[in-house]
Structure 1
Amino acid sequence: MKVSVVRPSDLGPAEIGRWRALQESGPDLANPFLAPEFTLGVGRFRRAGSGRVDVLVGVVEDAGEIAAFFPFERGPLGVGHPVGSGLTDLQGLVAPADLALDARALLRACGLAVWDFDHLLAAQHTFAPHHTVQRVEPVMDLGAGFAAFEEEMRRTAPKTHRTIRYKERRLGRDVGEVTYEFASADPDDLRRLMAWKSDQYTRTGRTDRFARPWIVALVEHFHRTGFGVLSVLRAGGEPVSAHFGLRNGGVMAGWFPAYDTRFGKYSPGMIGHLRLAEGCAGNGVSEIAMGRGGKEFKEGFKGREIPIAEGRVARATAGAGVHWMRSAPLNRARGAVLDNPALYRRADRVLKTYARLRGRGR
């Protein structure tokens, strides 16, 4: 096989068409994070955010035909990550499920010393020997329509469903009529969501993604082009919660949910998720990938799961050694927290306490 490395912007209509055709070879490949629009968008804005990182695509050809696309980021010392690392909930090759490449040979062809991953499609044979941990990503299944989805939710998570509908009625009584807009084109709605999300990151001690101008520009770009869908929940005409997700045909990837903390007692995020399911089902979306994390909240919504993996592929280079020393201890600690609900809750409390103390210091 032959591997050519190009910038996303160098891909022509024929290559993009082939990319889309390969996405149709497996149900999980249709995820928006694996769509060409995501790689093209990150490739356009990521370099402006950090000139030391290149967004590239390995184009794998077999007998003159493109067999796979391998989107990746390459930094100093040949350290590689998935495109949009830290922002993406699904990663991997865009290729048929039965394709098996030599992972280290692929890295060598792409000029990488190491490539790490944390949301890799676990079923892909190429990287299977390099998994260290496997987890799952929950998915809302809307293929039978919203009525069937809600009926299944009543059966499998009755308490969650009753709570959401009760709080939605209470929100309507206390604040005003509850309405939902599936796709808002208003830039002010997007700016409001990003402000809410930045406040959430600060309150919970997380890194504020919207403090990075290139991420703001990327999200605005996806909103303008329609690859991103901004949904808004209102009560009495006032915005209460919002969600910005990415859409590729019939698949939505949840990305940035946020809400106005003044309405926190009504659980507006959970109301918004149920309304999002209804809006998606009514607009040709058959499933919503919810991303890893927040397991207790998402359990009541899921219809199926996508197996995903963490790990790294490394060649015998100095860059790979430096990467291991920096990342391995942190990854082990993070994995232990994610796999233990008690540790997860304790870590969450510690981060929130840190955020409060930091706020007082300021």
Structure 2
Amino acid sequence: MSVTFKALESYQGDFSFHNSPEAIARFPFPFPEDSYMYSVNIEPATPRDPGSVFEHWFDIDEHYRSEVVERARVLEMDPRRCLVMPHMQQAAWDTLEMLMTHLAADYPEWFRLTRNGDRWIWENHALDICQHFTFGDSDTLPYEPLEYITRQIQGDVALLDQRDNDLFMDAGMVTCPADWSLAFDAGMSFKQWHAPVPMAHQLGVFDRALKYLLNIQVDSPVRRLNWTMTINPRLDSSPETFHEWGHERGLVTPENVARLVHLRVELQFMARLPRSNALFFGIRTYLISLEELVTNPVWACRLHRVLRDLPEAIADYKGLTLYRQTVVDWLSQFDPDANNR
């Protein structure tokens, strides 16, 4: 797929972000059924469907430049959004190599990687970057390796150290989280950082997921979709900035619901890093407003049914309680069976 970048958009302030018709068509709608419940919905991350978000390991789309600018803005305000514990340095270099290799192979019009032993040249034509550096030597880069390369991608990254038959969040770049904090979760085990999730523990979802993730092999990555909802197209909905966005949940009315409420979908990508044996956990976020989403009648009808029947505990955990009924009522016009219940 040939990528064309849009003019710079904002994810705060005037919220100028919007999706082109092409971006709407490739949006990863997360509901295969008319109802939703937590499950281990993990599949092999085999490249498929040319032009879709599943075509490559790492998706670059029309919002690339805007998201990179947004990441830089958040990092300027809060440098703690990038964290690497000392024992995760090798995993950071692993990540840099994996991202550079795949971006150069999958988007050759924008990225190029030239290697001569440990002397590398990285070219990012989308951002006018040409960097000569020595692989393994942080002093030859303007930032530490994880920060350097993740400043040039869309989506967040957590690096999970595998030890004691568990996974620990010991490094990451997280500037666009859905109500969680790297600074808070750093050093936690897999079940510890998932502790707030309701119902899934009783269903044994995380036991099965952890067992699966511990056995991921090099060059056999997996992926899954996760979802929530966000008011305004705001990427950084972290606890650190709750004072900026928390009140927006109370602003939704029948008149503005289509414009304000956005479905927020995470394409989560998990890959084994070869040198460090750490697990790369990528969280690529996609946003779509309700008014954009309902241009697909099938999605509009299904989202109505999912939200209408969503268990209260899940709705509350996802922060939907204040405006859920307003969304359901508005979406009912797109469900031909809405009046038969």
TM-score, normalising length: structure 1: 0.28
Question: Higher Cα Rg: structure 1 or 2?
Answer: 1
Structure with the largest fraction of helix? 1
Question: Which structure has the higher relative contact order (CA within 8 Å, separation 6+)?
Answer: 1
